[in-house]
Amino acid sequence: MSDSAGTAPKDGLRASNPLAWLVACEQIRQLASRYAVAMGRRDFVGLAELFVADVRVRSESGRQALAADFERQVASLGRSILHVTNHVIDVADGYHASGVVGTRAELEIGNEWVVQMIEYDDTYRCVDGEWLFVRRQHRLWYGAPVGANPLDLPLANWPDNAVGLGDLP
């Protein structure tokens, strides 16, 4: 099925194979939840395995480079808990999808307990029947110590600082 321009419609898989669309959406939802669990457990190898094998990491690529980068990013944190909230998934076809994932993070930073509201812009690819992240862009609404008004905080400049206003909306 295609539109008048000859391109597949955005909901092509949903229209042509609703069961495959549902399975893809559920596997992608599980992917986001597995990310949250692995992050809380500091399972950097497990986190990296949720991404395609040739994932880009700055000027490098590969899961080993990604695992090391995750470890670097959270080195200053104590405990972290990610709560996956809204998840909108656009399945382009049986192999490509994108999504937006809302997440509430609770983080131990030194002697402070910080709440972050995050939105991930994701790109997914199905490889050998398994949906994986191609790219996951962390976008911050805000990060604030519990009880603080985030509107009174300066810019966070994530990932340099977990506390402050983010680049959203």
Q: Enumerate the domain spans of the chain.
A: 12-165
Type of residue numbered 110: G
Q: Could you tell me whether strands 60-61 and 80-91 are parallel, antiparallel, or unpaired per DSSP bridges? A: unpaired
Summary mean pLDDT of the chain: 90
- Give pLDDT, residue 23: 95
- Give pLDDT, residue 9: 47
Say whether 20 sits in a helix, a strand or coil: helix
pLDDT one-digit tens code per residue, 151-162: 888 999 887 888
User: In sequence order, what DSSP letters do the residues of 24-83 get, joined into one string?
Assistant: HHHHHHHHHHHHHHHHHHT-HHHHHTTB-TT-EETTEESHHHHHHHHHHHTTT---EEEE
- Give pLDDT, residue 15: 65
pLDDT class for 7, splitting at 50, 70, 90? very low
DSSP 158: T
- Give pLDDT, residue 161: 83
Residue that wins the pLDDT comparison between 69 and 5: 69
Residue that wins the pLDDT comparison between 134 and 9: 134
> Do residues 88 and 121 make contact, with C-beta atoms less than 8 angstroms apart?
no
| Domain 12-165 in this protein, CATH class | alpha beta
Rounded to an integer, the average pLDDT of 78-105 is: 96
Say whether 156 sits in a helix, a strand or coil: coil
Q: How far is the C-alpha of 143 from the C-alpha of 158, rounded, in Å?
A: 9
- Give pLDDT, residue 10: 58
Q: Could you tell me whether strands 56-57 and 60-61 are parallel, antiparallel, or unpaired per DSSP bridges? A: antiparallel
Residue 106 pLDDT exceeds 90: yes
Residue 14 pLDDT exceeds 80: no
Q: How far is the C-alpha of 80 from the C-alpha of 101, rounded, in Å?
A: 17
Q: What is the pTM of this model?
A: 0.86
Residue 168 pLDDT exceeds 90: no
Cα distances (Å, whole numbers) of residue 15 to 18, 24, 70, 95: 6, 14, 38, 16
The pLDDT > 70 percentage for the chain reads 92
Cα distances (Å, whole numbers) of residue 86 to 120, 126, 134, 137: 10, 22, 20, 16
